Amino acid sequence: MPAPSAAEPAPIWHLYLIECIDGSYYTGVTTDVERRFAQHLNGDGARYTRAHKPLRLLASRAVGTRSAALQAELAVKRLPKEAKLSAVFTSDDV
């Protein structure tokens, strides 16, 4: 992905949480949550959501940079399932 020019702002990255049909959660990052969720629904998303069909988008929040989003994603993935939803809504404590 080429670096954004000075005239074009850097994209804002989002952390999102999807509930799958089997009750499991999938956590990911993207710059466009609606597009990415549609990709998961169409089978064009992550390998996990091809095997565990997505049911609904539970939550998302803007994180900022790609680096910050990936760090937040890793932190959420390490949490027990019961804590993941509330963690997506917290701003700095993920």
Q: What global pTM score does this model have?
A: 0.85
Q: Phi and psi of 92, rounded to 5°?
A: -125, -15
Give the pLDDT confidence of 61-71 residue by residue, as tens digits.
Answer: 999 999 999 99
Q: Phi and psi of 30, rounded to 5°?
A: -165, 170
CATH architecture of 13-89: 3-Layer(aba) Sandwich (3.40)
- pLDDT of res. 3: 64
Domain residue extents for the chain:
13-89
Give the pLDDT confidence of 16-63 residue by residue, as tens digits.
Answer: 999 999 999 999 999 999 999 999 999 998 999 999 999 999 999 999
Residue 88: which of 63, 68, 66 has the closest Cα? 63
Q: Phi and psi of 25, rounded to 5°?
A: -110, 145
Tokens representing residue 22 in the block: 């089997």
Rounded Cα gap, residues 28 and 90, in angstroms:
16
Task: Give strand pairing partners of 30.
Answer: 14
